[in-house]
Amino acid sequence: MNNPITKIINMRDSVVLLNPPGSKKYSRDYYCGHVVKSNYYWPQIDILVLSGICGVEFNIVVIDSIVEGLSCEKALERILRADPVAIVSLASGVSWDEDIDFFRKIKKKANCPIIITGDYPRGESTGVLRENPEINAVILDFTDCEINEFIKGTKTTDLKNIHVRSDSVRSKITLTEGFSFPIPRHELFPIMKYHYPFAMYHPFSMIMTDYGCAYGCSYCFYERIGNKKRSLDNFEEELFYLKKLNIKQLIVHDSSFASNKKHGLEVCRIFKKFDNYFSWICGMRADDFSEDIIREMSRTGCMGITIGVETSNTGLLKSFKKNLDRDIVVKAFALAKKYNIKTLGHFIIGLEGETVESINRLIDFSVFLNPDYASFNLAAPVWNTSFREQLLQSGQFSSENMHVDISCNYPVWDNSKISRIQMASLKRKAIRSFYLRPGYILRQLINVKSFYQLKSLIREGIGLIINTWMKNE
């Protein structure tokens, strides 16, 4: 039997959208599993999008065990109470042992299929299905609407973007040029429990204008996803829905906003229709910055941009297929500052080819750029990347280690020029050098514009200290 659903599916039978419980604060969304560094958390975009898709056919029950602080017992109790015809769950390499153990507990109690999405399942779907009979299918593209056909049993083979056990091999992932989906059910998520570092308002939610990435940086979990743009009419329809819910703070969860400049300007045009009702944050590549796009973003409510700096070593960046030089990065941060848009710089400590000296130069560069926030992560061989494959081939990383976490405080692989102890020490140094500057602390306090921002600043500061200096994972 291709589909284990044994009872007749009625229009309003329930589907559970699950973020499983865990011993740590796992984020499993958008193929980037990691442990959240501080006290922030957000609606996981995969199941948020699926709440709209599955909500067309089914009653949706959202269980975000992480942000709700649910134990395995409490989460299982909630699932059984919903009596679902299917469970669609997040899963990740960083939490896999706990995830699969929980799925086994579910299977002992509930007679319904478990369908999963996440970094490790997507990259290794054949092995996941072969070795884990508890899993019935793996979603390869969470924006695709064919999931409902699978759950109803009307189509259980020849699926474009769902891998089922009956498939002898995983089919090639099929991305259309554009896409749209039924509007996500934001109100079903525990939105008052989510917090984000430089959000101005609370509550907030996530939205996307594209899927995947137009670039192919070989260390990045988006390297092999592909890219497609969302229908602008569909995007605008979701904004109307969010306004009805009185949600005015949004995180645009695109990997690289405005990688297609025309699409980015059209998104700004749509935001402009709402007369600055929305405050929004996005992520961009430095080489996608231009005066006209940043000006329009500022005019239409953009108040924050995250920018991947990674390293100040231009030659090294090119070897990882990110052609970005120092001057472009400097200009991007200056342009954001000109238009009063806050910035968060992402920096990677210890890419293969770095030395202690070059990382110290990177730390100095982060202070020179002086973004409003900085995120320092150890280089990690994340799933579905060329970087991971290269380290496996060279023997610098073990295939037995599947719990790769970009936010960890201690590396899981051997850099040829820097010891693991040195990498961990340099990460702590980077955080100290950036965040413990008196001028930086004063600037953060002066720039507070709402009571929620003040609470967030205190919350994240405490969380940063605890996770950096009091945990040695």
354, 315 contact by CB (below 8 A):
no
Relative to beta strand 373-378, strand 162-164 is unpaired
Closest CA to 344 of 308, 315, 380: 308
Place of tokens 């940043």: 294
Q: Which residue has the tokens 């042992």?
A: 97
Structural domain contains residue 189: no
pLDDT score of 403: 82
Q: Residue type for 137, please? A: A
Query: Rounded CA gap, 411 and 359, in Å?
Result: 15
Confirm whether 185 is domain-assigned: no
d(CA 231, CA 371) in angstroms, rounded, equals 32
Instruction: Describe the crossing of helices 356-369 and 420-435 by its angle, rounded to 10 degrees.
Output: 20
Spatial CA neighbour of 411 closest among 378, 437, 385: 378
Report pLDDT digits (tens) over 358-373. 999 999 999 999 999 9
The one-letter code for the residue type at 364 is D
pLDDT by 10-residue block (mean), the chain, 473 residues: 46 90 96 89 98 97 98 98 98 97 97 96 93 96 95 89 81 76 98 90 96 94 93 98 98 96 98 97 97 98 97 92 93 98 96 96 97 94 93 90 83 93 95 91 76 65 55 48
Q: Residue 179: what are its φ and ψ, rounded to 5°?
A: -155, 160
Closest CA to 219 of 97, 106, 125, 349: 349
List, for residues 87-129, the tens digit of each pLDDT value: 999 999 999 999 999 999 999 999 999 999 999 999 999 999 9
204, two tokens: 């907030």
CATH number, residue 124: 3.40.50.280
Question: Distance between CA 303 and CA 283 in Å, rounded?
Answer: 11
Look at residue 337 and tell me if it is in a domain: yes
Domain harbouring 295, CATH code: 3.80.30.20
| Domain identity same for 59 and 172 | yes
**pLDDT of res. 457:** 64
**pLDDT score, position 455:** 66
How many Cβ atoms sit within 10 Å of the Cβ of residue 124? 19
Q: Residue 265 belongs to what domain range? A: 196-469
Q: Three-state DSSP class for 425?
A: helix
45 and 51 Cβ atoms separated by less than 8 Å: no
Last residue of a domain, one of 122, 147, 176: 176
Instruction: Name the nearest CA neighbour of 170 among 112, 212, 123, 209.
Output: 123
Q: Are residues 93 and 229 in the same domain?
A: no
Whether 349 and 301 map to the same domain: the answer is yes
- The answer to whether residues 266 and 399 belong to one domain is yes
Whether 167 and 232 share a structural domain: no
Task: Report the pLDDT value the prediction gives residue 294, as an integer from 0 to 100.
Answer: 98
Say if residue 54 is in the same domain as residue 23: yes
Same domain, residue pair 299 and 244: yes
Q: Give the model's pLDDT for residue 467.
A: 54
Q: Is the pTM of this model over 0.85?
A: yes
* Cβ–Cβ under 8 Å, residues 110 and 180: no
Q: Report the 10 Å Cβ neighbour count for 40.
A: 18
User: What does the alpha-carbon distance between residue 5 and residue 78 come to, in Å, rounded to a whole number?
Assistant: 20
- Report CA Rg, the chain: 22
**426 part of a folded domain:** yes
Q: Residue 78 contacts by C-beta under 8 Å, 6 or more apart in sequence?
A: 61, 63, 70
Residue 392 lies in a domain: yes
Same domain, 238 and 146: no
Which two three-digit tokens encode residue 198? Answer: 């430089």
Can you tell me the distance from the alpha carbon of 188 to that of 64, in angstroms, rounded to the nearest whole number?
A: 10
Q: Is there a contact between 57 and 152 (Cβ–Cβ < 8 Å)?
A: yes
The whole-number pLDDT of residue 146 equals 93
Nearest alpha-carbon partner for 22 in 63, 69, 82: 69
Do 312 and 425 lie in a common domain?
yes
- Cα–Cα distance for residue pair 248/246, rounded to 1 Å: 6
Give the separation between CA 289 and CA 337, rounded to whole angstroms: 12
* 112 occurs within a structural domain: yes
Among 107, 98, 164, which residue's Cα sits nearest to residue 134? 107
Strands annotated E in 299-449: 302-310, 342-349, 373-378
Residues 49 and 20 both lie in one domain: yes
Query: Is 107 a member of any domain?
Result: yes
Q: Are residues 214 and 151 in the same domain?
A: no
Which pair of tokens denotes residue 403?
């719990």
Question: Strand 137-139 vs strand 59-64: parallel, antiparallel, or unpaired?
Answer: unpaired
In a domain, 2, yes or no: no
DSSP type of residue 243 = H
Q: Let me know whether 138 and 244 are in one domain.
A: no
Distance CA(53)–CA(42), nearest Å, equals: 20
Q: What is the tally of helices (H) and strands (E) in the chain?
A: 17, 17
Question: Within 10 A of 225 (CB to CB), how many other CB atoms are there?
Answer: 21
Task: Report the C-alpha gap between 175 and 153 in whole angstroms.
Answer: 23
How many domains does the chain fold into? 2
Q: What is the DSSP string of 94-113?
A: GGHHHHHHHHHHHHHH--S-
In degrees, rounded to 5, the angle at the alpha carbon of residue 172 between the alpha carbons of residues 170 and 176 is 135
Cα–Cα distance, 44 to 255 (Å, whole number)? 14
